[in-house]
Homo-oligomer: A and B are copies of this chain.
Amino acid sequence: MKIALLPGDGIGPEIVREAVKVLDAIAVKYNHKFEYTTALTGAAAIDAVGDPYPQETHKVCQESDAVLFGAIGDPRFDNDPKAKVRPEQGLLRMRKQLGLYANIRPLVMFDSLIDRSPLRAERVRGADCVFVRELTGGIYFGRPQGRTEDGNTAYDSCVYTREEVERILHLAFSLARTRRKLLTVVDKANVLATSRLWRQIAKELEPQYPDVQVDYMFVDNAAMQIIQRPTYFDVVVTENMFGDILTDEASVISGSLGLLPSASVGAQVALFEPIHGSYPQAAGKNIANPMATILSAAMLLEHKGFVEEGKSIRNAVEKAISAGVVTEDLGGNFKTSEVGEYVAKHI
Q: Give chain A's interface residues, CB within 8 Å of chain B.
A: 73, 77-79, 81-82, 86, 88, 92, 118-120, 123, 139-140, 142, 145-147, 152-163, 188-194, 196-197, 199-200, 203, 216, 219-221, 223-224, 226-228, 241-242, 244-249, 251-253, 257
Contacts and interface: CB of A to CB of B under 8 A. Distances in A.
Nearest to A251: B224
9 contacts: A79-B203, A79-B216, A86-B190, A92-B191, A139-B156, A153-B162, A153-B197, A158-B158, A227-B227
A113 to B, nearest CB: 14
Contacts of A244: 188, 219-220
Nearest to A148: B161
A311 to B, nearest CB: 30
A256 to B, nearest CB: 12
A193 B154 CA distance: 6
Contact of A158 (B155, B226, B252, B257): B155
A146 B79 contact: no
Q: Which one of A146, A191, A224, A241 has the greatest number of beta carbons of chain B within 10 Å?
A: A191
A188 B145 CA distance: 14
Given A81-B199, A119-B119, A245 B220 contact: yes
Contacts of A257: 224
A224 B252 contact: yes
B139 A155 contact: no
Contact of A118 (B123, B145, B155, B252): B123
A158 B156 contact: yes
B159 A155 contact: yes
A329 to B, nearest CB: 12
